[in-house]
Structures are given as structure tokens and as C-alpha cells.
Amino acid sequence: KKYELQLKFCDQVLKELMGPKNWYLNQYFTHPVDPVALNIPTYFQIIKKPMDLGTIRNKLNNNVYEKAKDFEEDVRLIFKNCYKFNPEGDLVNTAGHQLEELFNKLWAG
Ligand SMILES: Cc1ccc(Nc2c(-c3ccc(O)cc3)nc3c(C)cccn23)cc1
């Protein structure tokens, strides 16, 4: 009840981030990174706390987040992981920066 309104806003923001309009950016972040499928065997040695938009969707649906701040932390973890693994200038790194810009705009309300 207490943070219901905050979490409704999170849902709205997530819908936009994951929406088809932004597929060219979110396509890399909608599912957990699969190191086997992507042939990046070292991923879990580099990234200790994997996160993705699909996992966030599940956590939001299952009321795992108590408040908006917890949701925001997970979203920003996606970008942090992306920049740590994908070198500046790479396709996925650039997509991460652009999705982060969109998130910052949406988050500012
Ligand atoms: C050899 C190689 C190099 C880079 C990548 N990056 C990458 C990532 C990725 C996303 C978030 C993240 O924290 C790390 C990686 N997701 C993808 C996808 C879905 C397709 C192609 C490349 N992708 C994959 C393989």
C-alpha cells in the first residue's frame, strides 16, 4: 500500500524501456546474458551480479521491490555490467548508454 504509487511508475517506465519502439536498444538487455550462447565464457568471472530487464519485470510482477529505489538500483546494475564487459564504442556498450539516457529521461518524470 505504502509504495504502491511509486511501483506503478516503475511499471510504466519498464514498459517503455522494454517496448518495441526501443527494441534496437533493449534487445541486448531483455534476457539474462547467456555466456554459452554468446560465446563469452568469462562473463560470470567479470560480472558478479548479472541483471536484465526480464528479471526486473519478474521481480516487479512478484512484488519483490519494496520501493522505487530498489527497482532503480537493478536497472542501473544492467548498465554498470554492460559498460564493464563491453568496451566503449562497442555496439552493445553504445546501446547501453542510449538506453540509460532514455531511462534517465523517463525516471526524471
Ligand atoms: C563476443 C561478444 C562480445 C559482446 C557481446 N555482448 C552482447 C551482450 C551483452 C549484454 C550485456 C552485457 O552485460 C554483456 C554482453 N548481449 C548480446 C546479444 C544479445 C547479442 C550479441 C552480443 N551481445 C556478446 C559477445
Ligand 1 centroid to residue 31 C-alpha, Å: 11
- pTM (predicted TM-score): 0.95
Ligand 1 centroid to residue 84 C-alpha, Å: 12
- Residue 8's pLDDT band (boundaries 50, 70, 90)? very high
| CA pair distance 28, 39, nearest whole angstrom | 14
CA atoms within 13 A on the CB side of 57: 13
User: Residues 52-76: pLDDT tens digits?
Assistant: 999 999 999 999 999 999 999 999 9
Q: Is 62 in the pocket of ligand 1 (CB under 6 A)?
A: no
| CA pair distance 79, 81, nearest whole angstrom | 5
User: Residues 12-67: pLDDT tens digits?
Assistant: 999 999 999 999 999 999 999 999 999 999 999 999 999 999 999 999 999 999 99
Shortest-distance atom of ligand 1 to CA 28: 19
Q: Is 93 in the pocket of ligand 1 (CB under 6 A)?
A: no
What confidence score (pLDDT) does residue 18 get? Answer: 98
Ligand 1 centroid to residue 19 C-alpha, Å: 19
Is the confidence at residue 1, as pLDDT, over 80?
Answer: no
Complete DSSP assignment for 27-89: TTTSS---TTTTT-TTHHHH-SS---HHHHHHHHHTT--SSHHHHHHHHHHHHHHHHHHSPTT
Is the confidence at residue 109, as pLDDT, over 90?
Answer: no
| CA pair distance 31, 44, nearest whole angstrom | 15
Q: Is 46 in the pocket of ligand 1 (CB under 6 A)?
A: no
